[in-house]
Structure 1
Amino acid sequence: MCNTGEAPRLALVVIDMVNTYDHEDAGLLIPSVRRVVPVLAELIGRAREADAPVIYANDSFGTWRSHHGELVDTALAGPHGDLVEPIRPDRGSLFVVKVRHSVFYETPLAYLLGQLGVGHVVLSGQVTEQCVLYSALDAHIRHLGVTVPKDAVAAIHPRLEAAALEMMERNMGARVTTAKQIDFARPAGDRC
């Protein structure tokens, strides 16, 4: 049956991809990130072409005086800048600094999404079994639609990633799909 009501606007949320990879699990995470970056770069490009909001939600690296430009510059100058360059924010990108796992926890993201008329988020980035999972739960309890492109999220532990994707789909009603199946020009509720 076709959705006859107005479908929610989509936004792409890029989680923690502006990263220095200077943390305990980086060695386990980087191979997954290398697989994800080309897919995510293409997904970001398609979102921008469709004029869908692209919102980076990123850890502050523990630097409380940091702003997004400083975070991007620090990550690009680090030993893994090649993982940041293809997906770096452009002038039209929005940026939310976070300090905990969820992109919603004590950030202005929910307010921003409301101002943009967004009712459905596409969660991408890292780490699937941590920040993506907790962000999906927080989106769900805020009555936002959630899509997770499984080839545009990176994980530390593949077994936990599989469990997290299943939890998002079963418990939170998330649509788990591939990046190529996401059409930013078509409203999220339009499945006809």
Structure 2
Amino acid sequence: MTTLTDRPNTALLVVDVQNGVVDEAYERDSVVANIGALVGRARREDVPVVWVQHSDEELVRGSEEWRIVGELDRAESEPLVEKSYGDSFEDTDLEKVLAERGVGRLVVAGAETDACIRSTLHGAMVRGYDVTLVGDAHTTFDKTEWGAPTPEQVIAHTNLYWRHQVAPGRKGGTVKTEDVVFRG
């Protein structure tokens, strides 16, 4: 249903699964395992896997905190998009990477739910993509000391509202890892 013409393909977008982003994250190990399972399935089904990696004054490029977590291994042939804003499209080459692969639908996983995931979901939809969030493959850390809901509530709310997200000619959706369909 994407509004992008000649974009029949789906890609798995893995956002900011970096040591300094997910080390303290809610259900970190199960989320990383689910992302690993998605990456494996995408590769077996010949679906593009696109990695996004954030850098800023706290996530210094080249530092241990900046690195993708050890449990996940980006293949050399898989694009890596470096970003410095929440929305993975903002001031990056992500749109070019996706256009070159004929991608009009994204399956999104990663971190942080209430920051880069949310921004990227909305950024993709306003740019014309259909966007599926993998509900058990994104996470955040506890920000309750600053007045935020618990991580579990943030994740549940994001899954709920994205499940019903629509726009003219585009749709969102939330599914579990086991229910992801890359083709069809």
65, 86, 93: which one pairs with 1:108?
93
Taking a change above 3 Å as real, the CA distance of residues 21 and 182 of structure 1, as seen in their structure-2 partners, is closer
* Aligned residue in 2 for 1:140: 125
Alignment partner of 1:12 is 2:12? yes
For residue 46 of structure 1, report the CA deviation from its aligned partner. Answer: 0.8
Alignment partner of 1:169 is 2:163? yes
* Aligned residue in 1 for 2:148: none
Q: Distance in 2 between the 1:38 and 1:50 partners?
A: 18
- 1:9 aligned partner, one-letter code: N
For residue 63 of structure 1, report the CA deviation from its aligned partner. Answer: 8.4
Q: Which moved more, 1:85-94 or 1:139-148?
A: 85-94
107, 118, 121: which one pairs with 2:106?
121
Bigger fraction of residues in helix: 1
* Aligned residue in 1 for 2:71: 86
Taking a change above 3 Å as real, the CA distance of residues 108 and 21 of structure 1, as seen in their structure-2 partners, is closer
Contact 1:18 1:88 in 2 (8 A): no
- State the SS of the aligned residue for 1:85: coil
Normalising by structure 2, report the TM-score.
0.79
Alignment partner of 1:49 is 2:44? yes
Provide the aligned length of Structure 1 versus Structure 2.
166
Q: Which moved more, 1:156-165 or 1:34-43?
A: 156-165
Q: Distance in 2 between the 1:129 and 1:64 partners?
A: 18
For residue 75 of structure 1, report the CA deviation from its aligned partner. Answer: 4.6
> Between the two proteins, what is the percent identity of the paired residues?
24
Contact 2:135 2:175 in 1 (8 A): yes
- 2:47 aligned partner, one-letter code: A
Taking a change above 3 Å as real, the CA distance of residues 64 and 180 of structure 1, as seen in their structure-2 partners, is closer
- Shift >6 Å, 4+ stretches: none
- 1:13 aligned partner, one-letter code: L
For residue 76 of structure 1, report the CA deviation from its aligned partner. Answer: 8.8
Alignment partner of 1:150 is 2:150? no
Per-residue CA distance 1:114-144 (angstroms, 9 max, x = gap): 1110000111011112211111101111110
Normalising by structure 1, report the TM-score.
0.76
- 2:84 aligned partner, one-letter code: V
- State the SS of the aligned residue for 1:183: coil
Contact 2:7 2:99 in 1 (8 A): no
Taking only aligned residues, the RMSD between alpha carbons, in angstroms, comes to: 2.6
- State the SS of the aligned residue for 2:165: helix
